[in-house]
Each structure stands twice: as C-alpha cells, then as structure tokens.
Amino acid sequence: MKLEDSGIYPFIKDYPKCKILYRFGKGECITNSIAHNEDYWYVIEGQIEVVATSHNGRRIHVDDNVEDEWTGHLSKYWGQNLYCDCIAVTPCACIRIPNPIFNNLIKNKDFKLFFYFKMSSRLYDMYRRRLSYDLFTPRQRFAAHLILDAEDNDCYMENVSKTCDELGISRRNLYNIISDFEALKIISYEQTGLVSIRDREQLRNIAQPALEFNENRD
C-alpha cells in the first residue's frame, strides 16, 4: 500500500521524519529484544513476525504484524519489555516515529483512539490464538490450518518451524500428525513442503471445532 493510503498518514503528514520509508529484506530484524528506548514503527508494506526466545533457546511465535499495523517494542508504552524480536517475513517497508513525536501525537484524542484501537485488535487476536492452544488438540489445529490455507486442495509449508510456532505444535508432533493423516488417506505430503488434501470432508470433520471458533466473529 502507499503511505498516503495508510490509516496513520493523516496524523503524521506534517512530520517529514515520519514519512521516510525504511526498507527491510526478508529475514532482517527491525527491532531486537535487547534494544532500549526504541522508537515506534508502523508497517506500510509486507509482514513482520514477532518472536521471543526462551532461556533454553526455544523460539516462541508471539504475533504477526501486517501492513497498516504497528510493530516494534510496543510494550514499552505500558512500561514493559516483553523481550521480543521483530523480523521481516517478507520484504517490508516501515515508517519510524521517534519517541518525542509519538509523545506529542498521543496527546491528540483522535490519534490516541487510533493507537488504542489498533493495539486492542492485535491483543485480542493474540488472545484468541493462545486460547485455541488449550481448547483444541494439535490434530484439530493443524487440520484447520490446512483447510484455511489450502488453494485448490494444496497447502505449501515453506517453513515447517514457522508452522509449528504459529500452531503451538512441536516439530515431532507435527510430523506424527502428518504421518497419521497420510495413513488415513486424508492428505499426501512431499518433502518439498507440499501438502495435498485428498479427503477434504474427513479433514473438515477433524478441524470443525477449531474452524467454528475461528469463524465465530461478528
């Protein structure tokens, strides 16, 4: 999208520093977990993954930030640091809002409403995803993932680790589920990451509770 078409543009159009596009290649880090006093970032193009790393080195998927959404160390607004890295999943373009400018903007009632709305929407989506980990089995979550992501009954897992992070499933468990689904002739799987749905009705029956939860939106 163009900067002028973004939701934030009316608020930053008079700030030249905030209209500079910073471009990041796939895999580049926008902000890292140990950075202090980071400015605020807003996504204009691309997708950014927010990840945390546990003390034993396990990578934890926290959120996805897409165009026209905030990214970066947003927890600092509430005086917190969740120690997350923001990494470009695709080539990205972002604008950077320095702290002094943000502190001035947040005094504006309309900007504050805009900021809180964006943040509350992201927090609610994160809450729903984490809740789904407890409500549904790994089989149900993976089946729903295939149903929702497949095009013409084909779903390509470009990065197995990322799929595991998004679904809250261990790599070993995911491969066990794939083998189980293959034995039941529900899917076929190739080492390239291509998953082909062979029995959509049976797969949907497994996924149904998770699908209903996902589709239960006003």
Q: Decide if 42 contacts 104 (C-beta within 8 A).
A: no
How sure is the predictor about 217, in pLDDT bands with cuts at 50, 70 and 90?
low
Average per-residue pLDDT for the chain: 91
157 compared with 44, residue with greater pLDDT? 44
Q: Report, as an integer, the average pLDDT of 89-108.
A: 95
Q: Give Cα separations from 170 to 59, 70, 87, 121, 162 (angstroms).
A: 11, 29, 21, 27, 11
The fold for domain 3-133 equals Jelly Rolls (2.60.120)
pLDDT in tens, 169-185: 999 999 999 999 999 99
Q: Is the pLDDT of residue 8 over 80?
A: yes
Q: What one-letter code names the amino acid at 206?
A: I
DSSP codes of every residue in 142-160: HHHHHHHH-BTTEEE-S-H
97 compared with 159, residue with greater pLDDT? 97
| Whole-number pLDDT of residue 38 | 76
Q: Is the pLDDT of residue 216 over 80?
A: no
Q: Decide if 26 contacts 89 (C-beta within 8 A).
A: yes
Measured in degrees and rounded to the nearest 5, phi and psi for residue 106 equal -70, -10
Q: Is the pLDDT of residue 37 over 80?
A: no
CA proximity to 28, closest of 99, 87, 100: 87
| Whole-number pLDDT of residue 47 | 94
| Structure token pair of residue 60 | 């934890």
How sure is the predictor about 77, in pLDDT bands with cuts at 50, 70 and 90?
confident
Beta bridge partners of 52: 60, 84
3-state SS class at 175: helix
Domain range annotation of the chain: 3-133, 136-215
Identify the architecture of domain 136-215 in CATH. Orthogonal Bundle (1.10)
| Whole-number pLDDT of residue 121 | 85
Distance CA 203, CA 200 (A): 5
| Whole-number pLDDT of residue 79 | 82
Say whether 136-215 and 3-133 share the same fold.
no
Angle at 129 (CA atoms; ends 131, 133), nearest 5 degrees: 50
